[in-house]
Amino acid sequence: MLELKDVSCSYDQLRVLKDISFSLKENEIVCIIGPNGCGKTTLLKAIAGLLPYTGSIKFHGSEIQDLKRKDLAKGIAFMSQISEMYFEYSIYETVMLGRYLHGKKGLLPAVGKEDEKIVERVLRDVELWQEKDKPITQLSGGQLQRVFLARTFAQEPKLILLDEPTNHLDLKYQLELMQRLEKWSKEKGHAVLGVFHDLNLAMQFAERIILLDQGEIALEGETQRVLQDQTLTKVFGVDVLNYMQGSLNKWVSSKERA
Question: Which one among 39, 49, 157, 194 touches ligand ADP, defined by CB under 6 A?
Answer: 39
Interacting stretch for ligand ADP, rule CB under 6 A, among 31-39, 154-162, 181-189, 199-207? Answer: 31-39
Q: How far is the CB of 229 from ligand ADP (least distance, A)?
A: 19
- Burial class from Cβ neighbours inside 10 Å (0-12, 13-18, 19+) for residue 114 reads exposed
Asked if 80 interacts with ligand ADP (CB under 6 A), we say no
145 is an interface residue for ligand ADP by CB under 6 A: no
Smallest separation, CB 38 to ligand ADP (Å) = 4
Which of the residues 8 through 27 are near ligand ADP (CB under 6 A)? 11, 14, 16
How would you write the chain as a 3-class SS string? CEEEEEEEEEECCEEEEEEEEEEECCCCEEEEECCCCCCHHHHHHHHCCCCCCEEEEEECCEEHHHCCHHHHHHHEEEECCHHHCCCCCEHHHHHHHHHHCCCCCCCCCCCCHHHHHHHHHHHHHCCCHHHCCCEHHHCCHHHHHHHHHHHHHHCCCCEEEEECCCCCCCHHHHHHHHHHHHHHHCCCCCEEEEECCCHHHHHHHCCEEEEEECCEEEEEEEHHHHHCCHHHHHHHCCCHHHHHHHHHHHHHHHHHHC
Q: Return the residue of 38, 91, 95, 235 that touches ligand ADP, per CB under 6 A.
A: 38
Q: Select from 41, 65, 143, 233 the one that contacts ligand ADP (CB under 6 A).
A: 41
247 C-beta neighbours (distance < 10 Å), count: 13
**For ligand ADP, which stretch binds (CB under 6 A), given 39-47, 185-193, 217-225, 237-245?**
39-47
Q: Quote the least distance from Cβ 27 to ligand ADP, whole Å.
A: 25
Question: Of the two residues 14 and 108, which places its CB atom closer to ligand ADP in the complex?
Answer: 14
146 is a contact residue toward ligand ADP (CB under 6 A): no
Q: Which is nearer to ligand ADP, 40 or 158 (CB)?
A: 40
47 scored as a contact of ligand ADP (CB under 6 A): no
Cβ 233 to ligand ADP, closest distance in Å?
18
- Strand order from edge to edge, sheet including 54-59: 14-24, 2-11, 54-59, 62-63
Nearest CB to ligand ADP, comparing residues 4 and 38: 38
Residue of 36, 167, 230, 242 that binds ligand ADP (CB under 6 A): 36
Number of residues that bind ligand ADP (CB under 6 A): 11
- Binding residues vs ligand ADP (CB under 6 A): 11, 14, 16, 34, 36-42
